[in-house]
Chains A and B, each alone.
Chain A
Amino acid sequence: MIEALRRAAEQEMLRDPRVWVLGEDVARGGLFGQYRGFLERFGPERVVSTPISESTIMGAGLGAALVGTRPIIEMRIFDFAMCAMDELVNQIAKVRYMFGGQGRASVVVRMPHGIWRNSAAQHSQMLEAWFAHLPGVVVVAPSTPADAAGLLVAAIRSDDPVLFFDPKDLFGETGEVADPIGPIPFGTARRVRHGEAVTVVTWSAAAREVARAAEALASEGIEADVLDLRTIWPWDEEAVVASLARTRRLLVVHEAVEVGGFGAEVVARVVSRLGPGALRAVRRLGAPRVPVPFSPPLEAALRVTEEKVAAALRAVAAV
């Protein structure tokens, strides 16, 4: 996946000279190699390694957008973006509205998120639900190399600000990626597998666990209809509703804490739309409301795994 993301950003920087990238260590290829070779290809004016100054990385990206460039703002990992919440929440998300449409924050904010290699509480969070709650931004959380690449292309071309949550734990995933990489429209889910028993809605790192669990359960005769939302704002409500018309059973799975997670929004929307009696079973599966611990067995205990997804699937299918 990291190579797919690298190619997507490279393709767009070749296509549009207004696109540039700023963030810590990007001229060295970025923390994950997602900008490898960019300095040599695009030069130091467009590949800007910055101080560890998250507020200014975020805010400078906005300022540069307001004069007509299209920055990719690299936050290294999502948790560090916490140091730039004023610039993201009060400024980027609001400039267009607050100024009556005079300016656009045409930026991509890349925030690699999620549990990855026992990195503990400040390097593992998934708080994408916060940003679905924030008017003014697009929220992207892909799970495959092709989706990540196509959505990054769409994000760079977007005039709206896009918060792009790179899935750290899936960076090693492999898969076919087109050349050239075409943009994937925001708000379109991808059907991971077709089934009639249970509709499973997921995104980002949890999608891998869901796909594995769904394959395993197919051998037990439980055929899940799995939708990877890919973007949670906007999100593909129509695809979910259409699937539920067949299955009448809903399971939402995300790696983030279950309480107040975006799964709650998915459930609330479909229940209010279809009516309280329309579904036979509704369930969410996320992490407990606990910070992510360091020690491998502790981390594993809290994590949304294939086994936990399988158990939830069996329970929902049995109703």
Chain B
Amino acid sequence: MNGTGGNVGRAIALLRTMRRIRAFEEAALAGHAAGEIPGPLHVSIGQEAVAAGVCAALRHDDRITSNHRGHGHALAKGAKPAPMMHELYGRAGGYCGGKGGSMHIADFSVGMLGANGVVAGGIPIAVGAAQGLRLLGSDAIVACFFGDGAINRGPFLEGLNWAALFRLPVLFVCEDNGVAAFTRAESVTAGGGVAARAEAIGVPARMVDGNDALAVLDAAEALVAEIRRGGGPRLLHARTFRLMGHTSTDPAAWRDASEVAAARAREPIARLEAWLAANGIEAAALAAIAAEAEAEMAAARREALAAPWPDPSSAYADVQDIGAHIPMLAP
């Protein structure tokens, strides 16, 4: 771990965020396995350093857009675990009142403009949010999380060109876990990959070890500073590894066991804990951070499971105001 510019305090804050993301998703996996959480569930276990490092470089009024694997982005930006877990459980009290679920977590109050069920769906929204913020006279920026699969969709190329053209304050974050659903990204991606594409369009790109939380934070801080100075968009290519399958029910059995074992040895939480241990933090303190996160998320799960279902009439709310009186919309 290079740790340049890193210090123990920053590392502890990152570890706390990553532990909370890990504990949230492990609790969600348990809830899904128990039949408590319906629908698809995409977890980011193994990728926590990217969400934690990037969001630690952002201000409260900066915005983010996210993808289908977005629990970590939301938590790192400041969303609360209880309403997130309620949403996963489809219960009243969820961030979206149970209408969105895991793939559509949003908390506009912390600048989290929504996870997205469509790959690359958040990219045009992010550049537009940046353009709107500039029109309103704000100096807030937008961080846009997407995966390696998204770089083969048109909106990626359109969005980068657009952001560069209008010099918009956007940090594109490619969270490269090497797999697009069930397919190795390298087998479906021609050329030099995300950074080469960004550079070709005129968006300066930087690569970072996405399993090194302090390195991600350092890189994100540098890029955010450039963006906030008016330098236009930047792209951060963070290489990481998805330790689990595409969804909670996908064992990803096609992967070689030795590959996964090697990846586990590089996983970001253990690495950060090792760095902290080497910098004088006692094992008991690290264990306490983990235990605190697990207790918080276990409580969120208990609360969500005990929470009431949404009133069925709420299925008819928030569609549109105009024409809402029309009988065929009503129960």
Contact = CB atoms under 8 A, between A and B. Distances in A.
B323 A63 contact: no
Nearest to B119: A86
A59 B132 CA distance: 12
A138 B322 contact: yes
A53 B94 CA distance: 35
Interface stretch (B157-165, B215-223, B236-244, B287-295): B157-165
Given A51-B165, A55-B158, 18 more contacts: A45-B135, A51-B161, A53-B162, A56-B128, A56-B162, A87-B155, A97-B318, A97-B319, A98-B96, A98-B104, A99-B95, A99-B104, A101-B318, A135-B320, A136-B319, A160-B320, A160-B322, A233-B323
A185 to B, nearest CB: 9
B73 to A, nearest CB: 15
Interface string A110-144: 00000000000000000000000001111000000
A98 B103 CA distance: 10
B117 A55 contact: no
Contacts of A48: 131, 166
Interface in B104-149: 104, 106-108, 113-114, 116-118, 121, 123-136, 138, 142
B128 A46 contact: no
B114 A90 contact: no
Contact of A138 (B99, B107, B320): B320
A159 interface: yes
A227 interface: no
Contacts of A135: 319-320
Interface residues of A, number: 50
Nearest to A233: B323
Count class of interface residues, chain B:
35 or more
A66 B65 CA distance: 11
Nearest to A158: B322
B108 A64 contact: no
Nearest to A58: B124
Contacts of B165: 51
B63 interface: yes
A20 interface: yes
Given A46-B135, A68-B136, A234 B323 contact: yes
A56 B125 CA distance: 8
Contacts, number: 165
A63 B154 CA distance: 17
B46 to A, nearest CB: 27
A159 B133 CA distance: 19
A241 interface: no
A99 B159 CA distance: 23
Given A64-B129, A97-B318, A101-B318, A87 B96 contact: no
Contacts of A50: 162
Contacts of B321: 159-160
B131 A60 contact: yes
A59 B113 contact: no
Interface in B152-181: 154-155, 158-159, 161-162, 165-166
Given A98-B96, A137-B320, A234-B322, A86 B121 contact: yes
Contacts of B127: 56, 59-60, 63
9 contacts: A55-B158, A56-B155, A63-B125, A63-B131, A63-B142, A87-B155, A98-B106, A103-B106, A159-B321
Contacts of B166: 48
A49 B177 CA distance: 36
A102 to B, nearest CB: 4
A3 to B, nearest CB: 27
A90 B122 CA distance: 11
Interface string A50-77: 1101011011111111111101000000
Residue among B106, B125, B127, B161 having the largest count of chain A Cβ atoms under 10 Å: B125
Given A63-B129, A64-B128, A95 B114 contact: yes
Contacts of A91: 116, 118, 121, 125
Per CB-CB distance, the 3 closest pairs between chain A and chain B, nearest first, are A59-B124, A63-B128, A60-B128
Given A86-B118, A90-B121, A100-B95, A63 B100 contact: no
A64 B154 contact: no
A314 interface: no
A140 to B, nearest CB: 10
Contact of B130 (A53, A63, A103, A158): A63
Interface in B184-237: none
A262 interface: no
B283 interface: no
A51 B65 CA distance: 22
A86 B98 CA distance: 22
A104 B117 CA distance: 18
B317 interface: yes
B330 interface: no
Contacts of B100: 98-100
A284 B68 CA distance: 44
A51 B121 contact: no
B265 interface: no
A96 interface: yes
Contacts of B114: 95, 98-99, 103
Q: Which of B116, B135, B161 has the most CB of A within 10 A?
A: B135
B110 to A, nearest CB: 11
B323 A186 contact: yes
A187 interface: yes
Interface string B60-75: 0001010000000000
A69 B142 CA distance: 15
A246 B167 CA distance: 61
